[in-house]
Structure 1
Amino acid sequence: MTTVQETAAVRYGIWVLCPVLGAAVVWGLKLAAVWITTLRWFPFQGVFELVTDIPEPWVTIAALAVGALGGGVLALLWAAEMMSVEVSHDRVRLKKDDKIFDFGRNQIESVFTEGKQLVLLSPSGAELARESSDLSRARLEQAFTGQGYRWLDADPFADDYRMWVEHAPDLPADVNALFTARRKAISKYEHEEAAELAREIRKRGVCVKDEKKRQYYRCER
């Protein structure tokens, strides 16, 4: 079995790097608070005035604590976006966002990447999975071909996609409703919600992908 995942430096380093950077940023803003209060056009003047009124060392302690906490939240979100891929001769397992997507060898006809997305296709051309990650395309290709899976250079159904519009006539009402909800999630940068809605759409026999916040789809053959 071959496992493709982020390096240990990235997986563990974010828990140190993000809190440190967060603390440094907020501490820097604390140092600049007096100057910022002289810029009447700068937003959140009340916050910076409050900072200047807090005595040392409490203001520094508070700034470092708030920054580190914010950095920790960022690290948590970053970690949730990471994906690991386990490829063996008889199955493929994707792990992301505390979810596991497991596929048997006979379910998978071919594999390819599109941008940062890893796509698994079934023998009928259905998309079993389309998941985003920062994993190296070269490492993914090596892992899949090393276990005998068919690797494609591009999406063989790229020309079949069309841009989704409200109440698309060739889609059922429930699928159009999912696309509408997904459009709202995309506009609010709710990436996990958008990804989950895309999985629900795929369950209904429709493939979906995005280009510049526009949704494109194709119906399975």
Structure 2
Amino acid sequence: MSVVGRPRWEAVLVWLGLPALGALAGLAVRPLARWILDTDWVPNIGLARVIADLPQPHGTIGAAAAGVVLGVVLALTAEGEVLRVAVGPDEVTLTRDGKSRTIGRGDVSAVFADGKELVLAGRSGEELARERSDLAADRLAAAFTEQGYPWRRDGDPYRHEFRRWVPDEPELPAGANAVLGARSAALEKGDRKDVAELRDELGKLGVVVRDQDKRQYWRRVRIGG
């Protein structure tokens, strides 16, 4: 089993650095409040007086403790967003934010990095998984290659089949234009969850989609492999 996740040094930096920064921010709150109250050209904010008048040293200690808690929450959030890839001889497990999905080795025909995304393609050219990832491509390549998967160093083998989507594209299957239209709106709003769900809906229609600068490019799945 080969596992690729956040480098250890990065995890240490996140788990120690964010709480430490939170504590420093907490310690700086009272001096900042007093500076606001003593400065004529900064608007007098009522909250600043409340903070400045907190009993000491309990007020400062409490602010620092609150900063540490906030730092831990941010560290937990950052940890959940990291993709973890476990590559075994028979299956691949992708885990993010406590949710996992497993893909059988026999279903995979190609694995590659497409920009900041990891893609596993199936036997008919369908995308079994497309996950945003900051994991180093060379680490992913080593893990998949070590377990005998077809890692494509040259990238997407189907890249020449994509074409830019325009509304009412006649060659798309029924319903796909509507899904792509909704997905275009989700891309504009930055709604990652909706974008991902609509990608899955397109997959069910036999359409693969990729994004570039909020523009959508599509291709059909090769029926029959």
Alignment TM-score, normalising by the size of structure 1? 0.80
SS at match of 2:149: coil
| Structure 1 position 172, deviation (Å) | 4.4
Structure 2 segments unaligned to the other structure (5+ residues): none
Change (3 A) 1:3 1:27: same
Residues 166 and 180, structure 1, Cα contact 8 Å, conserved in 2 = no
Provide the rounded CA distance (Å) in 2 between the counterparts of 1:81 and 1:177: 26
Tell me, in whole angstroms, the C-alpha distance in 1 between the residues paired with 2:179 and 2:47. Answer: 42
Residues 182 and 197, structure 1, Cα contact 8 Å, conserved in 2: no
Instruction: Give the whole-Å Cα distance in 2 for the aligned partners of 1:195 and 1:39.
Output: 50
Residue number among 178, 200, 207 corresponding to 1:176 in the alignment: 178
Aligned to 2:109: 109
Q: Is the 8 A contact 2:18 2:75 kept in 1?
A: yes
- Residues 16-38 of structure 1 deviation map (CA, whole Å, 9 limit, x = unaligned): 32222122124324322222343
Q: Per-residue displacement from partner, 1:136-155 (whole Å, max 9, x unpaired)?
A: 11111111112222222222
Per-residue CA shift, 1:30-75, capped at 9, x if unaligned? 3222223436566x93333332232322331232133222212211
Deviation at residue 96 of structure 1 after TM alignment: 1.5
Contact in 2 for aligned 1:175/1:204 (Cα 8 Å)? no
Give runs of aligned pairs for residues 54-133 of structure 1, distance below 5 A.
Answer: 54-133=54-133
Q: Which shows bigger deviation, 100-109 or 155-164?
A: 155-164
Based on CA coordinates, which of the two structures has the bigger radius of gyration?
2
User: Bigger shift: 166-175 or 44-53?
Assistant: 166-175
Secondary structure of the residue aligned to 1:109 is strand
Count of aligned pairs between the two proteins: 219
Contact 1:26 / 1:67 at 8 angstroms: preserved in 2?
yes
Alpha-carbon deviation of 1:157? 2.5
Pair 33,216 (structure 1): closer, same or farther in 2 beyond 3 Å: farther
Equivalent in the alignment of 2:189? 187
**1:80 Cα deviation from its structure 2 partner:** 0.9
TM-score (norm 2): 0.79
Q: Classify 1:68/1:156 alpha carbon distance in 2 versus 1 (closer, same or farther; 3 Å).
A: same
Q: How many Å separate the matches in 1 of 2:40 and 2:69?
A: 28
* Structure 1 residues 135-214: aligned runs within 5 Å: 135-152=135-152, 153-164=154-165, 170=172, 172-173=174-175, 176-177=178-179, 180=182, 183-184=185-186, 187-188=189-190, 190-192=191-193, 194-214=195-215
**Which range moved further: 170-179 or 6-15?**
170-179
Task: After TM superposition, give the deviation of residue 200 of structure 1 in Å.
Answer: 4.3
Distance 1:162 1:22, change over 3 A: farther
For the aligned residue pairs, the C-alpha RMSD in angstroms reads 3.0
Structure-2 change in CA distance of 1:191 and 1:36 (3 Å): farther
Secondary structure at the counterpart of residue 120 of structure 2: strand
CA shift for structure 1 position 125: 1.0
Change (3 A) 1:61 1:204: farther
1:19 aligned partner: 19
Letter in 1 for 2:182: T
| Preserved CA contact (<8 Å) 2:4 2:139 | yes
